[in-house]
Amino acid sequence: MNWENNVRKVVPYTPGEQPKCGRMIKLNTNECPYPPAPGVKKLLESENYEDLRLYPSADAGELVEVLAEYYKVKPTEVFVGVGSDDVISMAFLTFFNSDKPILFPDITYSFYPVWADVYKIGYKTKALDENFRIKKEDYLEPNGGIIIPNPNAPTGVLESLDDIEEIIKSNPDSVVMIDEAYIDFAEEGTSALSLVEKYDNLLVIRTFSKSRAMAGLRVGFAIGNEKLIKYLNDVKYSVNSYTMNRPSLVLGVEAVKDDEYFKATLKKIINTRERMKKELTALGFSFPDSKSNFVFATHKTAAAEDIFKYLRSKQIYVRFFKQPRIDNYLRITVGTDEETDELIKELKSFL
Ligand SMILES: *Cc1c(COP(=O)(O)O)cnc(C)c1O
């Protein structure tokens, strides 16, 4: 009768809606509006289904090798997981194991407090300033670890590499994770990857879900000092050795190989983002400058929730967070040019 007293109870993360209606414009979960690299399609068609009876490689070696080569690090400095959600979850379990609280911003990826709760890790959130920027002094107090997304979600704000470096440098006794889910949409030279050789407490986390158009495949990875990666693998092999399925490994490799397609896709999205910023501004919206593939916008007179409901009635899905400080904002993913035109047209007619 009392077994429920012993259940590990959690309030789960709420993912964005994945509606199943035909004609819709989906700008609510920051997916890429363009397909993955063409080579992925070819391989998908020729993949030998008989191979599926065999276990995949437990160390994801083929994908680790390709990522190491691409990012100019050693294979022993790369960890691959089932989307960056899996990578971050494993990293929380591995590295956030102190009696001091971990630190992250108050407005950020809403999965962080959920992982902290499920693993019983104490945490403290640090308020972003009125421009949604991190106050780096907040991260200089004693802590059991730090996670900061850069650019941040849902704000799109990019913090300077100098500030990020100061936080890493000032916390030699904690692991500092920089979640770079959106860094490919920012300028070159803004990634903390360049600091991996310098700081052994830095773990940089990336995903194929946004910039590489492969959210459905579930591939994420982390790059860090080989000691960190070894600890991460020890925990992974203690939970589930075969996290990556065969198709994900093979198709992931193919995606990384086609750098020309990758860069061209990024360029298209960034161009559309810059145009979207102009159009939104002209309609009376304001937003922190976005270096990601979404814009976090608020309107001078119309309430975000009303706009959200109106767009929904027109089959345009954006993200609205009913949370303190951000409940008058909409997070709008950058779609194709046509989708953006449609969005702007509907916003005009609502306003
Ligand atoms: C989307 C997202 C992730 C997770 O993406 P995966 O699909 O699990 O790779 C992680 N962090 C942030 C900040 C994100 O926005």
Q: Is 179 in the pocket of ligand 1 (CB under 6 A)?
A: yes
Q: Indicate if 248 and 108 belong to the same structural domain.
A: yes
- Distance of CA 307 from the midpoint of ligand 1 (Å): 25
Q: Indicate if 76 and 154 belong to the same structural domain.
A: yes
| Structural domain count, the chain | 2
Q: Could you say which residues of the chain have pLDDT below 50? A: none
**Per-residue pLDDT reduced to its tens digit, 164-189:** 999 999 999 999 999 999 999 999 99
Closest approach atom of ligand 1 to CA 209: 7
Nearest CA to ligand 1 atom 11: 181
> How high is the pLDDT of residue 19?
81
> How high is the pLDDT of residue 17?
79
Continuous segment of H or E residues that includes residue 283? none
CA gap 90, 232 in Å, rounded: 7
Q: Is 217 in the pocket of ligand 1 (CB under 6 A)?
A: no
Quick check: is 218 in a domain? yes
Of 240, 258, 276, the last residue of a domain is 258
CB atoms within 10 A of CB 221: 23
Of 224, 258, 292, the last residue of a domain is 258
Q: Indicate if 249 and 205 belong to the same structural domain.
A: yes
**Per-residue pLDDT reduced to its tens digit, 243-265:** 999 999 999 999 999 999 999 99
- In the chain, the DSSP E strands lie at 25-26, 78-81, 102-105, 123-126, 146-149, 176-179, 202-207, 220-224, 285-286, 294-299, 316-317, 319-320, 330-333
> How high is the pLDDT of residue 46?
78
Q: Is 333 in the pocket of ligand 1 (CB under 6 A)?
A: no
Q: Indicate if 189 and 313 belong to the same structural domain.
A: no
Q: Which of 265, 329, 335 is nearest to 293 (CA)?
A: 335
> How high is the pLDDT of residue 50?
85
Q: Which of 319, 261, 324, 325 is nearest to 293 (CA)?
A: 319
Q: Indicate if 241 and 282 belong to the same structural domain.
A: no
Of 258, 285, 317, the last residue of a domain is 258
* Domain range enclosing 160: 48-258
Instruction: Give the CATH number, domain containing residue 282.
Output: 3.90.1150.10
Beta strands at 220-224 and 202-207: parallel, antiparallel or unpaired: antiparallel
Residue 138 DSSP class: G
CA pseudo-torsion sign 129, 132, 135, 139: positive
**Are 105 and 125 spatial neighbours (Cβ–Cβ below 8 Å)?**
yes
Residue 11 DSSP class: -
Q: Indicate if 158 and 267 belong to the same structural domain.
A: no
Instruction: Give the CATH number, domain containing residue 114.
Output: 3.40.640.10
Beta strands at 123-126 and 78-81: parallel, antiparallel or unpaired: unpaired
CA pseudo-torsion sign 332, 337, 342, 344: positive
CA-based radius of gyration for the chain: 20
**Per-residue pLDDT reduced to its tens digit, 22-43:** 789 999 999 999 999 999 998 8
Q: Indicate if 283 and 244 belong to the same structural domain.
A: no
CB atoms within 10 A of CB 131: 9
CA gap 117, 107 in Å, rounded: 17
> How high is the pLDDT of residue 130?
95
